[in-house]
């Protein structure tokens, strides 16, 4: 993967990005906060995160493992752990308030309008049911109209649609593969089946949660090429969750960077790589290998993610790992401010020549 899209990586559909920017957000998350009540204390997992996603747009949600990326997506779909509690903010999808919707409404949305590809396809798939049947289950659950079922054999029509779904994700011999069980398929094949299930009802929004975990580099590229091609073809909004900044750079129109439950930077992909402003983003870049990277030149992000159960967390949760931090960073959380180019940064001491309005006011 090319870790620097400003060099030779193809532009991620700039025309589509400009068209998307003029539309209202399909998914609109504002100041979203969530915590977990545990025996060892309250975990403040997400703090005032905002995220917008428009039709046809592919947005990468990037950060280290444990930064809250998956927790955020699960909470929006109402599939969080029972210990999770939303403490503030809003999340709307197509005008529907996801945080106030009842379980029936959310169940109808999941799989039909919003679909998710989970990290581990082998555990997400039912091990004792043929994969073709699992696609049919989704179609039946959402009463999807299938061409040819009018007055005919609905079961046969559903079966043929499931085979077509496998064909659309480039699975060879889909008629035979539809009868296979997950243990009979490779990891890459299982992931393609998961994509087929997720897209069977042609959702408006796809959430891909680390969809290349455990796959070799060649299979990773094939899976990501498939997801992005289908997203572009169907004008489907896609949220790509990953810890791999280089992978996000190759496929996403915009990238949102998260650290310890906070969104610290968001920008169009090329803009972000041309001038990262948040020290954490810059550290992620310096620790991300590219195709010609010498391993000795990689610099790890210093320190570790803070314990989110602490009652004395700094206002900027990167402050204890940041060489630019000041007393203000520990006492006052920087707002996520956006400039005219759509580049948003939450930092009192950003990299480069940028100076935030609040910083100047406190100068």
Flag whether 68 is in a domain.
Answer: yes
**3-class SS of residue 310:** coil
Helix axis angle, 131-141 to 154-168, nearest 10°? 110
> Residue 227's closest CA among 180, 191, 263, 178?
191
- Same domain? For 286 and 348 the reply is yes
The enclosing domain of 93 has a CATH number of 3.40.50.300
Flag whether 4 is in a domain.
Answer: no
- Same domain? For 241 and 334 the reply is yes
Number of domain units in the chain = 2
Flag whether 86 is in a domain.
Answer: yes
Flag whether 240 is in a domain.
Answer: yes
- Same domain? For 188 and 70 the reply is no
- Which of 202, 223, 252 is the C-terminal boundary of a domain? 202
Flag whether 33 is in a domain.
Answer: yes
- Same domain? For 196 and 221 the reply is no
- Which of 202, 229, 255 is the C-terminal boundary of a domain? 202
- Secondary structure (DSSP) of 36-47: EEETTEEEEEEE
Euclidean distance between CA atoms 77 and 100, whole angstroms: 11
Euclidean distance between CA atoms 229 and 140, whole angstroms: 26
Share of the chain above pLDDT 90, in %: 64
Domain that holds residue 313: 14-113+203-361
Give yes or no for a contact between 24 and 314, defined as CB atoms under 8 angstroms apart: no
- Same domain? For 328 and 344 the reply is yes
Euclidean distance between CA atoms 159 and 174, whole angstroms: 11
What pLDDT score does 297 carry? 57
- Same domain? For 53 and 102 the reply is yes
Euclidean distance between CA atoms 133 and 232, whole angstroms: 27
Q: What is the pLDDT of residues 238-269, one digit of tens each?
A: 999 999 898 999 999 999 999 999 999 999 99
- Same domain? For 184 and 320 the reply is no
Q: What is the pLDDT of residues 285-341, one digit of tens each?
A: 888 776 555 455 567 788 889 999 999 999 999 999 999 999 999 999 999 999 988
Q: What is the pLDDT of residues 55-109, one digit of tens each?
A: 999 999 999 988 999 999 999 888 888 789 999 999 999 999 999 999 889 988 9
- Same domain? For 159 and 96 the reply is no
- Same domain? For 212 and 181 the reply is no
- Quick one: tokens of 256? 């949102």
What pLDDT score does 10 carry? 43
Instruction: Considering only residues 149 and 333, tell me which one the structure prediction assigns the higher pLDDT.
Output: 333
Cα three-residue angle 286-291-296, rounded to 5 degrees: 50
How do strand 27-38 and strand 41-53 relate by DSSP bridges?
Answer: antiparallel
Residue 355 has pLDDT above 50, yes or no: no
Euclidean distance between CA atoms 203 and 9, whole angstroms: 28
Which phi and psi (to 5°) does residue 13 adopt? Answer: 50, 65
Euclidean distance between CA atoms 103 and 221, whole angstroms: 36
| CB contact burial 32-62 (16+ within 10 A = b; e otherwise) | bbbbbeeeeeebbbbbbbbbbbbbbbbbbbb
- Same domain? For 188 and 47 the reply is no
What pLDDT score does 152 carry? 56
- Quick one: tokens of 40? 């060892």
Q: What is the pLDDT of residues 18-52, one digit of tens each?
A: 555 567 899 999 999 999 999 999 999 999 999 99
- Which of 159, 174, 202 is the C-terminal boundary of a domain? 202
Flag whether 298 is in a domain.
Answer: yes
- Same domain? For 183 and 329 the reply is no
- Quick one: tokens of 68? 């809250």
Flag whether 308 is in a domain.
Answer: yes
- Same domain? For 104 and 134 the reply is no
Give yes or no for a contact between 187 and 121, defined as CB atoms under 8 angstroms apart: yes
Give yes or no for a contact between 239 and 208, defined as CB atoms under 8 angstroms apart: yes
Using a 10 angstrom Cβ sphere, with 0-12 exposed, 13-18 middle and 19 or more buried, the burial of residue 299 is exposed
Flag whether 191 is in a domain.
Answer: yes
């Amino acid at each position: 993967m090319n870790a620097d899209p400003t060099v030779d990586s193809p532009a991620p559909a700039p025309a589509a990005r400009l068209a998307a920017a003029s539309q209202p957000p399909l998914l609109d998350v504002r100041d979203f906060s969530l915590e977990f009540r545990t025996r060892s204390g309250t975990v403040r997992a997400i703090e005032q995160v905002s995220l917008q996603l428009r039709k046809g747009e592919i947005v990468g949600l990037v950060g280290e493992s444990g930064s809250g990326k998956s927790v955020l997506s699960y909470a929006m779909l109402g599939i969080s752990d029972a210990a999770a509690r939303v403490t503030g903010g809003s999340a709307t999808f197509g005008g529907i308030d996801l945080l106030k919707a009842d379980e029936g409404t959310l169940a109808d949305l999941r799989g039909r309008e919003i679909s998710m590809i989970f990290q581990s396809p082998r555990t997400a798939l039912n091990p004792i049911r043929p994969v073709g049947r699992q696609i049919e289950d989704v179609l039946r659950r959402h009463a999807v109209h299938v061409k040819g079922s009018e007055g005919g054999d609905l079961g046969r029509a559903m079966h043929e649609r499931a085979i077509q779904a496998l064909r659309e994700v480039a699975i060879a011999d889909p008629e035979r593969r539809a009868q296979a069980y997950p243990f009979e398929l490779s990891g890459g094949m299982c992931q393609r089946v998961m994509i087929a299930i997720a897209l069977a009802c042609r959702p408006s929004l796809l959430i891909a949660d680390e969809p290349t975990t455990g796959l070799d580099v060649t299979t990773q590229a094939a899976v990501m090429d498939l997801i992005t091609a289908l997203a572009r073809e169907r004008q489907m909004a896609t949220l790509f969750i990953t810890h791999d900044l280089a992978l996000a750079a190759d496929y996403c129109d915009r990238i949102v960077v998260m650290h310890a439950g906070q969104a610290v930077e968001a920008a169009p992909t090329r803009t972000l790589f041309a001038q990262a402003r948040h020290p954490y983003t810059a550290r992620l870049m310096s620790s991300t290998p590219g195709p010609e990277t010498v391993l000795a030149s990689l610099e790890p992000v210093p320190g570790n993610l803070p314990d989110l159960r602490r009652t004395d967390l700094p206002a900027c949760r990167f402050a204890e790992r940041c060489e630019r931090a000041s007393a203000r960073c520990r006492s006052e959380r920087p707002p996520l401010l956006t400039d005219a180019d759509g580049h948003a940064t939450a930092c009192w001491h950003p990299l480069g020549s940028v100076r935030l309005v609040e910083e100047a006011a406190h100068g």
